[in-house]
Amino acid sequence: MTGGRYQIGRDARCQIRMLDNLVSRTHATIRHQDGVYIIRDNNSSNGTSVNGKAITEHKLVNGDRIQVGETVFLFTCPEFESSQEIAASRIALVRQSAETDRSRIVGEVSDRTVAAFTGVNPVESLAEQAEMVAQLQTLYRITEEVVRPSLSPDQLLNRILYLTTEVVGADRGCVLLFSPDGKIVPRVFTDRTGQAERMPVSMSIVDYVLRKRQGVRTSDAQTDQRFDHGQSIFQAGVREAMCVPLQGRDEILGVVYVDTTMSSEEMIYRSKEESHFSDSKLRLLIAIGGQAALAIENHRYQDALLQAERLAAMGQTIAMLSHHIKNIMQGIRGGSYLVNNGLNEMNEEFLRKGWQIVEKNQNRIYNLVMDMLTFSKERAPNYSEGDVNKVARDVEELMRGKAEEAHVQLSIHVREGLPTAWFDDE
């Protein structure tokens, strides 16, 4: 979309015309203003929904699913800054000056499959029951996002990360993935605090998680002796952090990192109350990390399958072109045979018939080349009333030259007076 206003509907004047009986003539309008795309429902009969919710007006973001009638669009805009660019600008990977004692372990979980709901004591209070229900609801919502069609892995990871920070009560979160050259790089980022400063990610935590293949929780990162205070967590004022691996089927794809922040005043007067992050939240985060890793792998498998399908489509296209070219060349050979016989025998009738066949196949070559130049799809049949006998005679003309070269006598017998048929004579 390159203009400023786009109408969606069945009317011929709509820029996005829909052949859908449940869509109104001017169903909805998308307008582009100051780098923002806004969709508005034009009081349509059946309404407009975005991401499953009916809307009157909605600001569109990458990954939004717009439904009008029975048709669903996936909105994406290359003008918007990519999630990876945002993450790179908002995350600072903080390296340690040296390793220190890691004997004090605050909390660790390694089993990603059933870690969220096994190895815990029976529920003893209403608060624990409510927490368990909330965790199940979160996993259900994340599973919905995993199986829901999306444009890219980044959009899926953004949704998962937003739900994750919401349910575990984290202020910020990010996903770090391994790049093709083996480096760990930021991929998506979310910040529920609205602060402008960059999120420092302790590489001491990340390296520990990747090496041990298990999740880690720090109830108070400033006093956790497993991590160096000199440059990493202490300077950032992070009170608590959780980091879990994205464990795929065969390898670790990266990590999910979430934390909470506090001001300098809060750091001075902080109490010794119970930690904001708990072991149950760490187990939930482990389960979410497993779901996210499987979703990433599924996207990669789909991309590989799509690439294979494209290569197969190229092979089919080449085979189809070869078949068409073979038929055209066969026709030209047949016409040339008649022209040659006409010249040798000074037979004007042979010359005329041979040239007609050559000319017809020249037109077919021209049309084929023009279709290739315009990258057209396979031509849709152009149905019209036609004479079946004429098609049979054309086939006989195409094959006559080849038959005579093989010393085969080719004859045709058609029944005159057949009714016309509805077909594509090409």
The residues pairing with 48 across neighbouring beta strands, listed in sequence order, are: 55, 68
Confidence of residue 231 (pLDDT cuts 50, 70, 90): very low
Q: Mean pLDDT over residues 49-62, rounded?
A: 85
Which residues, including other chains, have CB under 8 Å from residue 300's CB and lie 6 or more apart?
Answer: 153
Within 10 angstroms of residue 295's Cβ, the number of other Cβ atoms is 22
Confidence of residue 325 (pLDDT cuts 50, 70, 90): confident
CA–CA distance from 203 to each of 169, 194, 208, 383 (Å)? 22, 24, 8, 66
Confidence of residue 374 (pLDDT cuts 50, 70, 90): low
State residue 116's pLDDT score: 44
Range scoring the smallest mean pLDDT among 2-6, 115-119, 261-265, 339-343: 115-119
DSSP summary character for residue 237: T
The residues pairing with 256 across neighbouring beta strands, listed in sequence order, are: 175, 244
Q: Which helix (H) or strand (E) holds 328?
A: helix 279-345
Going by C-alpha positions, the residue among 59, 95, 61, 75 that lies closest to residue 184 is: 95
Class of domain 5-75: mainly beta
Range scoring the smallest mean pLDDT among 90-94, 284-288, 323-327, 332-336: 90-94
Q: Mean pLDDT over residues 125-135, rounded?
A: 68
CA–CA distance from 60 to each of 63, 237, 315, 338 (Å)? 9, 35, 39, 66
> 83-302, what's its fold?
Beta-Lactamase (3.30.450)
- Which tens digits make up the pLDDT trace of 175-201? 999 988 888 888 888 888 777 778 888
Q: Hey, is 31 helix, strand or coil?
A: strand
Within 10 angstroms of residue 10's Cβ, the number of other Cβ atoms is 17
- Which tens digits make up the pLDDT trace of 283-314? 888 888 888 888 888 888 877 887 888 788 88
Encoded amino acid at 393, one letter: R
- Which tens digits make up the pLDDT trace of 141-181? 777 666 665 557 777 788 888 888 888 888 888 999 998 88
State residue 206's pLDDT score: 87
- Which tens digits make up the pLDDT trace of 20-47? 888 999 999 999 887 788 999 999 989 9
**Would you say residue 365 has pLDDT above 70?**
yes
Higher pLDDT, 313 or 80: 313
Q: Which residues of 359-396 are buried (b: 16+ CB within 10 A; e: fewer)?
A: ebbeebeeeeeeeeeeeeeeeeeeeeeeeeeeeeeeee
Task: Provide, rounded to the nearest whole percent, the portion of the chain with pLDDT above 70.
Answer: 76
Are β-strands 16-17 and 384-386 bridged in parallel, bridged antiparallel, or unpaired?
unpaired
State residue 29's pLDDT score: 93
> Are the beta carbons of 206 and 257 closer than 8 angstroms?
yes
State residue 202's pLDDT score: 80
Full-model pTM: 0.55
In the chain, where the domains are located = 5-75, 83-302, 379-425
Encoded amino acid at 222, one letter: Q
**Would you say residue 349 has pLDDT above 50?**
yes
Name the E strands within 220-379.
238-247, 252-261
Using the Cα atoms of residue 326, residue 330, residue 336 and residue 340 in order, give the sign of their dihedral. Answer: positive
State residue 221's pLDDT score: 43
Phi, psi of 75 (to 5 degrees): -85, 130
Confidence of residue 233 (pLDDT cuts 50, 70, 90): very low
- Which tens digits make up the pLDDT trace of 235-251? 444 467 888 999 888 88
